[in-house]
Amino acid sequence: MQSILTFLPLNIIGWILMGPLGVSYTSGSAYGYSYTVPAGLSVFYYIGGLVFVVMFILWLILLIKSYQGEKFKLPVIGDIAEKHI
């Protein structure tokens, strides 16, 4: 439960930052056709990448603690997860 409550929102935030908010678009027209092309990457794209790096590091830490048999509770999410199980 703790894993779902931690990684699902982080994953959604990361995808939103790297997707719709991460790419800036420009539009133009040629030969009577309108088109939209990616113009570049915005700051949100790099913040989204940072979210995924933090998620990976947190996943490794929690994986190692679980493998060692240690019960580890994240500060806020752990309390919420305990209430739901």
pLDDT tens across 41-67, in order? 778 888 989 999 999 999 999 999 999
Q: Which residue has the higher pLDDT, 39 or 81?
A: 81
Q: Which residue has the higher pLDDT, 23 or 8?
A: 8
Supply the pLDDT for residue 29.
62
Q: Which long-range contacts (CB under 8 A, 24 or more apart) does 38-46 make?
A: 44/17, 44/18, 45/17, 45/18, 45/21
Mean pLDDT of all residues belonging to the chain:
85
Supply the pLDDT for residue 58.
94
Count of structural domains, the chain = 1
Supply the pLDDT for residue 9.
95
Domain containing residue 30: 2-84
CA dihedral 76, 79, 80, 84 (to 10 degrees): 160
